[in-house]
Amino acid sequence: MALNNTYDARLQQETAVGAGVQILLLALLGTAIGLGVAGWLSGLAFAFATWAVLSRALHRSALRSFGPANRVTLGRATLVGGVTALVADSFESAPPVTLLVGLTAVALLLDGVDGKVARRTGTSSALGARFDMEVDAFLILVLSVYVSTRLGPWVLLIGAMRYAFVAAARFAPWLNAPLPPSFARKTVAALQGIALLIAGSSLLPHPAELGVVLLALGSLVWSFGRDVMWLWRHGRIGATEVAVDPSSAPAEKGQAKVLELVSP
């Protein structure tokens, strides 16, 4: 028990350091551009929420160490917190587009780094995969909010689609079934951040920005639609097989525990 408490304390120290770095970044942004009240409140709320949720998840997990991959993801989360503060501040004053684009670009470039680090160091975990996914999803949501102020509220569909899927899974549990690996799915997910970054940078004419974001939204609808159809065909069949064959119940309980951590 004492050893477990030691591991837990070390993990909590990692999350506390992450929250401290987030506040430091906000202070630097405040010094450089003069963050307004909305920016500070949004950034601090993000820092607190990240610390609270991650601390709880680590306490419930069986991890013995935070790991280098999760540190990379935590660094990305810090950048996303900065982007969140800048986007919130943009509703009060003209945003520093170069700074916003820079933070976003680094966060997107580091997206594939944490996964590679986890595989090379043998520290892959369900919690790490979920942490990475949530950081990605929130960044897309924040970017869609920013771009929607220029292109229209329909852009919010890009950021809200994943959360709508999670909400739907509460009422349709078959949506929680694991999906097979898909390069197309990963490509479409990466396209969302790139498209929103391009649109947010204001480097292209308005029609071109509109076309890029529409292409991203169309590909996202196709990707989600394809996955939902696959889950409908295979998830419901699997549920029927479990009901028919009671001997499979123990395995299904184990799978449910994994899905609790990694479900989208």
Confidence of residue 37 (pLDDT cuts 50, 70, 90): very high
How buried is residue 84: exposed, middle or buried, by Cβ count under 10 Å (0-12/13-18/19+)?
buried
Mean pLDDT of 204-219: 95
- Which pLDDT score is estimated for 261? 37
Q: What are 170's two structure tokens?
A: 């509460």
Say if CB 65 and CB 32 are below 8 A apart: no
Mean pLDDT computed over 194-221: 95
Q: With contact defined as beta carbons under 8 Å apart, do 135 and 18 qualify? A: no
Q: What is the pLDDT of residue 237?
A: 56
The string of pLDDT tens digits covering residues 100-117 is 999 999 999 988 888 888
User: Coil, helix or strand for 61?
Assistant: coil
> Mean pLDDT for the chain?
84
pLDDT at position 39 is 93
pLDDT of residue 5: 57
Report the pLDDT averaged over residues 6-14.
71
Average pLDDT rounded to a whole number, residues 169-186: 90
Q: How would residue 245 be classed by pLDDT, with cut points 50, 70 and 90? A: very low
- pTM, full prediction: 0.84
Query: Does the pLDDT at position 30 exceed 60?
Result: yes
Q: Mind listing the pLDDT tens digit for each residue in 52-88?
A: 988 888 878 777 777 888 889 999 999 999 999 999 9
Average pLDDT over residues 32-43: 91
Assess whether pLDDT exceeds 50 at residue 181.
yes
